[in-house]
Amino acid sequence: MNCRNHYLDIFKVTEPQLDKVIATALARGGDFADIYFEYTTFYNLILKDGAVSSGGFHTDYGVGIRVLNGEKTGYAYSENPEMGEMLKAAEAAGAIAQCGGGGRSFKAVQEGRSDFYPMQMDWRRQQASAFLPFLLDLEKQILAKDSRIVKVIARLSDSVSDILMYNSLGELTYDTRPMGSLSVSVVFQDKGMTENRSVSRSFRTGAELISPALAKEIADEAVKGIDARFEAKRPKGGQMSVVMGAGASGILLHEAMGHAFEADFNRKGQSIFSEKVGQRVCPKGVNVVDDGTISANRGAVNYDDEGVPGQKTYMVEDGILRSYLHDRISAAWYGVDPTGNGRRENFRYNPIPRMRATYMESGNADPEGIISSVKNGIYVDEFSNGQVKIGEGDFTFFVKSGFLIENGRLTAPVKDINIIGNGPQALADIVAVGNDLKIDNGTWTCGKEQSVAVSCGMPTVLISNLTVGGVQ
């Protein structure tokens, strides 16, 4: 099968027609234009208390057309990618972008054809009802593990997107993007107290995701640490050392630091890291990465949503700020190559610089040695919601799960506390980086103006001085 023609056939277009749409988009002037086609199918199945509470199926089909002219962007979309409708959208995008000044140069990118998410079992060829026995068995396994469980909600969702992109540089790219996600929410009650535990897994893979091994992994994790949750107290607050546990605590890296490395914030002078490329921002040995090339990872991209091949980008290398995260617009502005970070929620949205899988690489410290080096502090292994100020770098995150560190030992579990700090200062205050990098494969979604799938990770990391909000 000719893959190029296959994707053209999905959207019922020819290359001469694409050229005509591009010409129409640029008729009023412009530096660059592109077309983004999308056909996505979504399924979901929710099991609550042993019965199906809801299930659904829908499709999303359409095309978005963008024109860049100097500092102006014109964007229009149609849910009917028929030729006449595309020409109308192209005219609208061109009209919005006209009188932008022009003069910006956009370079073609090196062609890539990696497949970071091969799909063995296409979700679109499966019956949703076939997964019901799996969800029922998963619920049964969870209930058998703890008598305090009063409610289990299990959700399976999947999607497959066919994508076709074409631009005024003559680049035609295409991609098929699967996503499978499984999550459970478990409610525990004991002696008048209620605690909740949520666990999820999400991968760019087909229905081969569903397996007995995954069910066991989810069931085991669903009850892990629940005794500590019931026993946890709010500790005394103050300035102290904080140890970030490997894995899910990487969300702090994503929110408090990753966004500040996105090039649009820096181009506009809104980031604390503006004009700091080439400068030291944290101690030697610290490497912070945004990676679109991890096989089957939720944040993986064969191509971003501008047709730029997926790649691995070092934002910080050996403590030095090396690169921002670029889409084509910021790359042209800075005179560098795009990094494959131009992403969008769907065809209705303009692409902007967004993260993929953001993590800190492993260091050489022993995780147990890191904990034993702390006389008085907090160990955090799971955050929930937080707030970040990109410009100042200030952040506040709520700690979902953690422990006191007293004289080098994990002691009492803690809850209902906030970790408060400043992103650049937290990077500068890193004392040790563990050798145990863990990528968290939960259902992470970034909501910067629009929603996209991401992932995050961390090794165990010691930060010497953060504010812990607890009792006084």
184: which 2 tokens?
A: 């459970």
**The pLDDT of residue 370:** 98
DSSP string, 352-414: EE--SEEEEPP-SB-HHHHHHT-SEEEEEEEEEEEEE-TTT-EEEEEEEEEEEEETTEEEEEE
Q: Find, among 196, 209, 162, the residue nearest to 347 by Cα.
A: 162
Question: Which value, to the nearest 10 degrees, does the dihedral of the CA atoms of residues 201, 203, 206, 207 take?
Answer: -10
Measured CA to CA, the distance from residue 329 to residue 147 in angstroms comes to 56
Structure letter (DSSP) for residue 220: H
Does residue 341 share a domain with residue 304?
Answer: yes
Does residue 251 share a domain with residue 206?
Answer: no
Does residue 246 share a domain with residue 209?
Answer: no
Measured CA to CA, the distance from residue 106 to residue 328 in angstroms comes to 7
User: Residue 19 sits in a domain of what CATH number?
Assistant: 3.30.2290.10
Domain boundary among 177, 197, 231: 231
Domain boundary among 180, 206, 231: 231
Measured CA to CA, the distance from residue 9 to residue 346 in angstroms comes to 20
Does residue 335 share a domain with residue 319?
Answer: yes
401: which 2 tokens?
A: 């799960």
* pLDDT reading at 449 higher than 90: no
Does residue 150 share a domain with residue 178?
Answer: yes
Q: Find, among 358, 361, 371, the residue nearest to 437 by Cα.
A: 361
Domain boundary among 177, 210, 231: 231
Q: Find, among 148, 157, 155, 156, the residue nearest to 194 by Cα.
A: 148
**Up-side HSE of residue 110: CA atoms within 13 Å toward CB?**
6
250: which 2 tokens?
A: 């990487």
Does residue 162 share a domain with residue 60?
Answer: yes
**The pLDDT of residue 88:** 98
**The pLDDT of residue 358:** 97
**The pLDDT of residue 385:** 74
**The pLDDT of residue 60:** 97
pLDDT (tens digit per residue) in 57-116 = 999 999 999 999 998 999 999 999 999 999 999 999 999 999 888 788 898 997 777 899
**The pLDDT of residue 470:** 67
The mean pLDDT of 248-270, rounded to a whole number, is 92
CB 211 within 8 A of CB 180: no
3-state secondary structure of 449: coil
DSSP string, 242-261: EEEPTTTTHHHIIIIIIGGG
Does residue 368 share a domain with residue 284?
Answer: yes
Average pLDDT, the chain: 94
Does residue 242 share a domain with residue 137?
Answer: no
Does residue 191 share a domain with residue 279?
Answer: no
Measured CA to CA, the distance from residue 173 to residue 238 in angstroms comes to 53
Q: Which residue range(s) make up the domain with 452? A: 238-469
**The pLDDT of residue 472:** 58
pLDDT (tens digit per residue) in 136-179 = 999 999 999 999 999 999 999 999 999 999 999 999 999 999 99
Domain count, the chain: 2
Type of residue numbered 360: M
Does residue 265 share a domain with residue 142?
Answer: no
3-state secondary structure of 461: strand
pLDDT (tens digit per residue) in 334-385 = 999 999 999 999 999 999 999 999 999 999 999 999 999 999 999 998 887 7
Does residue 411 share a domain with residue 392?
Answer: yes
pLDDT (tens digit per residue) in 101-120 = 878 889 899 777 789 999 99
For residue 1, what pLDDT band results from cuts at 50, 70 and 90?
very low
Does residue 141 share a domain with residue 80?
Answer: yes
**Percentage helix, strand, coil, to 5, in the chain?**
25, 40, 35
For residue 256, what pLDDT band results from cuts at 50, 70 and 90?
confident
For residue 2, what pLDDT band results from cuts at 50, 70 and 90?
low
